[in-house]
Chain A
Amino acid sequence: MTTNNYDAIIIGGGHNGLVAGAYLARAGKKVVVLERRHLVGGATITEEIIPGFQFTEFSYVVSLLRPEIIRDLKLPQHGLKILPLPSTFTPMDNGDYIAGWDDHDTTRREIYRHSPKDAEAYDEYGRRMARLAKAIKPILSMLPPDPTSLSPKDLMGLLKLGQFASTLTEKELYGLAKIMTQSAADMLEEWFETDALLGTKSASGIIGTFLGPRSPSTAYVLLHHYMGEIDGAFRAWGFAKGGTGGIAEAIASSARAFGAEIKLNATARQVIVKGGRAVGVALENGDEIYAKAVLSSADPFVTFLKLVESKYLPDDLIHSINKFRTRGSSGKVNIALSELPEFTALPDSNVLHRGAVSISPSIDYIERAYDDAKYGHFAKEPYVDMIFPSMIDPDMAPPGKHVMSCFVQYAPYDIEGGWDDAKREAFGESVIATIERYAPNIRRAIIGKQVLTPADTERITGITGGNIFHGELLLHQLFFMRPATKWSGFRTPINGYYLAGSGAHPGGGIMGAPGKFAAELALKDGI
């Protein structure tokens, strides 16, 4: 079967593909979004894996979803609600805990309990990071300029960047230069001394990377994640109603309302190229769909190396994409619970279950977990970032029951001997055992669980290496180098073929910016 009447085909119904589809449809284009699976969302999904229990399977919080996307696509009318996560709770090995709250003074008093020095440093650290993040944040809503280009537009773009940096003092500029190269551990140890505080803060520097907190360049990753927090009350940071699948559903509903078509169970096999131009997509089922442009929200590896024949691409691009770091380093354990875990550090209270719970007693603890991964094993004592979606959105579990989402690092994609059922089970067990040390009732509370390794993530979502960011958020893989130098502008060497996924600038996380930028560029190109 051949259909010929689309303006654009979007490969992949993850949040970026849906955003791209919605923007194109909003501009009056005839659009079809192809999704392999029976549901939209990609790695941004919620599924009822155990009857009555809604699991946010992969991504679980939202921090950088662009507010202009929320407004442009009228997502609140399509059900989007981003609920607050008011705290972070880190149980400590001495039986105490340290918590951070949404209220500055409460947090400072809490840190003071552990170290008056850290409490004061916390004030200044917060200000410094916020100012740095603010200075570089405009980059996120800007198309990346090419630093080697002499085109006036690119030069203007660079100039704009320079202007934002000019709001920084000389001291802060040096700080920024340092952060670009430092490890998260080195940077944080300049400020703090409390192990659990250091551990918890350093964890933001490793999420989604295959690095440890002592690896250089993780300080920048930490700053990158900080950008989700600087807009104060106006931020889109929190937990989405219905889990992250609620975000995908809202964008899909908006896209449909604008007239986009979303085909489920439709797997793209190859992009059809004619005369150096992408003109359609051949599906696994033999169908061919034709259009004026094709936008791929798949990861760079799939977009460049699987969906198109290599003869259409220059060698250096093929080489760069081959070397693009996209090895998954994290897993997820999603658990249905009959009761909340009771932390020995905070008995008889579930106030802190409304926020995140972090198993990160020290930097060394996380670095040791990385050591396991570095040599091909999952961490026996991993870093775990937990939330209890049912405490934030009561509709996530049956009344009185709970769901728990555990993001676990490290679980290397390239585990020694490959992943199998026994290893998956052992990995899940290491997570349960880790939590059990701080909340002994966890085991008896488990109704059922789902353990997801990077191999599972790859199998289910199709993301190469199972890296939910479509490639690590490392400085050398960001901005005008994402996914490859010279090809950071969403366009590809094939006319009418665009990269619209998290593997493009400004990167992963539920941000939607790559999808929006790619759609806008395609419109500008006159599709």
Chain B
Amino acid sequence: MRQLRNTPFHERTSALCQPQNWRKWAGYFVVGSYEHTIDREYWAIRNAAALIDVTPLMKYIIKGRDAARLLDRVTTRDIQKLKVGQVYYTGWCDDEGKMIDDGTVSRLDETTFRMTAAEPNLRWLMMNAVGLDVQIEEQTEGVASLSLQGPNSRSVLKRVCETDIEGLKYFRLMKNILGGVEVTISRTGYTGDLGYEIWMNAKDALKVWDALMEAGHDYGITPVGILALDMARVEAGLFMLEVDYTSASHAWIEAQKSSPFELGLDWTVALDKPGYFVGRRALEREKKEGSAWKLVGIEIDWVGMEQLYAEVGLPPQIPGSAIRASMPIMVGNVQVGYASTASWSPLLKKYIALAHLQKPYYELGTDVRMEITVEHQRKHAPAKVVKLPFYEPEWKKK
């Protein structure tokens, strides 16, 4: 009874997972890595086609005459402008304008939406739906989802989909038949590369997996676990709930909460949309007064870091995967922020991190130092505030 759930792809993923490296994600077991080292999986995302089981994402269907009104009220985007077949990325806030969660909202038809979230949000949606003509249904278990990411992902889908996906634009979706099964395909993902997410009835999961693996064989399709995904999302400048920020609904203290502006989501806050939405007044105030914090990218100066290690006779020792730990960021002797995820970027050959910095240190080009532990000693490696994303290939949106 105490077992976590397996996803509908378990029969396939468990047979392929050599190191028995499993991770817990929202109550499910998912593969951490399929091989003993994650290099090949990482490079499948960046150079071929990576097949990732993302079923544990929370999924809600929001339906009814007032569905758009509900989402317009809950999220910071202008949902009235969302066209059928379009997807928005958005965060949603509490009344104080602090982030509760983030995810995507897809308009499946005029009055039907799918919302994804990292954590359960049913209660929050219900609370905001009082008096509206809308039904909310959670579909996390019933709908399986696969993320197919990488520059060859389009070629794989072209080979296996009944309707050509060539014209499917960035953050749009379409219905399709894949391996004889009805699916929805959205051009979305968590890697910052060309990529798609495929949504299907859970009972059809294996058929879709098999069809993709077969069609992708000649394009280097590779099952990829969430450890490699974690590196790619840092390169893409994408943050993660409960790693890079704390949900306002879980925070113990005010200081743990973040506004969308503080997370760099200015572009998702539609203050020009008509009417009330949750957090509006607080966000308007923050917009006027400026944010105290900002999530930025920092690049650690490799030569500077190499020197710190050379002092004790070592080459740099950082893990070849993403590090989820809080690392203080200094200017002079004063701590001005912290990094929440750091990662070696095999593509950029750089050590990069997502960091929360206080005003005014979050400006691009600011020289800072990040704490690292060199042979049990605290040291500070030189670093610089840089533009996010760290990596954005031209084919991401093409």
Contact = CB atoms under 8 A, between A and B. Distances in A.
A, B: real partners: yes
B43 A71 contact: no
B315 A230 contact: yes
Contact of A102 (B39, B303, B313): B39
Quick one: which of A81, A234, A241 has the most chain B CB within 10 A?
Answer: A234
Contact of B47 (A167, A233, A241): A241
B220 interface: yes
Given A71-B350, A76-B347, A400-B218, A81 B36 contact: no
B64 interface: no
Given A70-B349, A76-B347, A233-B346, A86 B40 contact: yes
A67 B302 contact: yes
B37 interface: yes
B46 interface: yes
Given A134-B315, A167-B313, A241-B47, A394 B349 contact: no
Contacts of A86: 35, 37, 39-40
B47 A234 contact: no
A454 B35 CA distance: 39
A231 B315 contact: yes
A67 B39 contact: no
B180 interface: no
Given A67-B302, A71-B302, A233-B344, A393 B218 contact: no
B36 A102 contact: yes
Given A393-B47, A394-B218, A394-B219, A234 B349 contact: yes
Interface string B345-358: 01111100000000
Contacts of B39: 84, 86, 102, 233
A86 B222 CA distance: 14
Give the interface SS of chain B, mostly helix, strand, loop or mixed: loop
A84 B349 contact: no
Interface string A44-87: 00000000000000000000000110110000100001111010
Interface in B297-340: 302-303, 313, 315-316, 318-320
Interface string B38-49: 011001001110
A105 B35 CA distance: 13
A71 B47 contact: no
B220 A68 contact: no
A82 B42 CA distance: 12
B152 interface: yes
Interface in A225-249: 230-234, 236, 241
A170 interface: no
Given A102-B36, A233-B320, A76 B348 contact: yes
Size range of the chain A interface in the assembly: 20 to 34
Given A71-B302, A76-B347, A234-B316, A102 B218 contact: no
Nearest to B39: A84
B391 interface: yes
Contacts of A95: none
A5 interface: no
B148 to A, nearest CB: 14
B206 to A, nearest CB: 23
B391 A76 contact: yes
A348 to B, nearest CB: 15
B218 A106 contact: no
Contacts of B37: 86, 102-103
A400 B152 CA distance: 14
A314 interface: no
Contacts of B218: 394, 399-400
Contacts of A105: 36
Nearest to B41: A84
Nearest to A106: B36
B46 A81 contact: yes
Interface in A381-429: 393-395, 399-400
A394 B152 contact: yes
Nearest to B219: A394
B171 to A, nearest CB: 24
A393 B47 CA distance: 7
Given A103-B36, A233-B346, A399-B218, A68 B302 contact: yes
Nearest to B48: A394
Interface in B183-221: 218-220
Contacts of B315: 134, 230-232
Nearest to A84: B39
Given A68-B303, A102-B39, A232-B320, A83 B47 contact: yes
Contacts of A394: 48, 152, 218-220
B35 to A, nearest CB: 8
A81 B349 CA distance: 10
A145 B220 CA distance: 47
B347 A81 contact: yes
Nearest to B19: A103
A70 B219 CA distance: 27
Contacts of B43: 81, 83-84
B36 A67 contact: no
B221 to A, nearest CB: 9
Contact of A84 (B40, B302, B313): B40
B7 to A, nearest CB: 25
Contacts of A230: 315
A81 B344 contact: no
Quick one: which of B47, B316, B319, B350 has the most chain A CB within 10 A?
Answer: B47
A76 B346 CA distance: 10
B307 to A, nearest CB: 12
Interface in B237-254: none
Contacts of A70: 349
B335 to A, nearest CB: 27
A23 to B, nearest CB: 16
Interface in A82-98: 82-84, 86
Contacts of B320: 232-234
Contacts of A234: 316, 318, 320, 344, 349
Contact of B219 (A67, A71, A399): A399
B312 to A, nearest CB: 10
A395 B219 CA distance: 8
Nearest to B350: A71
B349 A71 contact: yes
A210 B319 CA distance: 39
A444 to B, nearest CB: 20
A257 B363 CA distance: 26
A106 B18 CA distance: 11
A61 to B, nearest CB: 15
Nearest to B348: A76
9 contacts: A67-B349, A71-B350, A102-B37, A230-B315, A231-B315, A232-B320, A233-B346, A354-B40, A399-B219
Given A106-B36, A234-B344, A393-B220, 18 more contacts: A67-B349, A76-B347, A76-B349, A81-B347, A82-B346, A83-B43, A84-B40, A86-B35, A86-B39, A102-B39, A103-B36, A103-B37, A167-B313, A233-B39, A233-B320, A233-B346, A234-B349, A394-B48
Interface of A: 67-68, 70-71, 76, 81-84, 86, 101-103, 105-106, 134, 167, 230-234, 236, 241, 354, 393-395, 399-400
Interface of B: 35-37, 39-40, 43, 46-48, 152, 218-220, 302-303, 313, 315-316, 318-320, 344, 346-350, 391
A-B complex: 10 closest residue pairs judged by Cβ atoms:
A233-B320, A399-B218, A103-B36, A394-B220, A84-B39, A70-B349, A67-B349, A167-B313, A400-B218, A102-B37
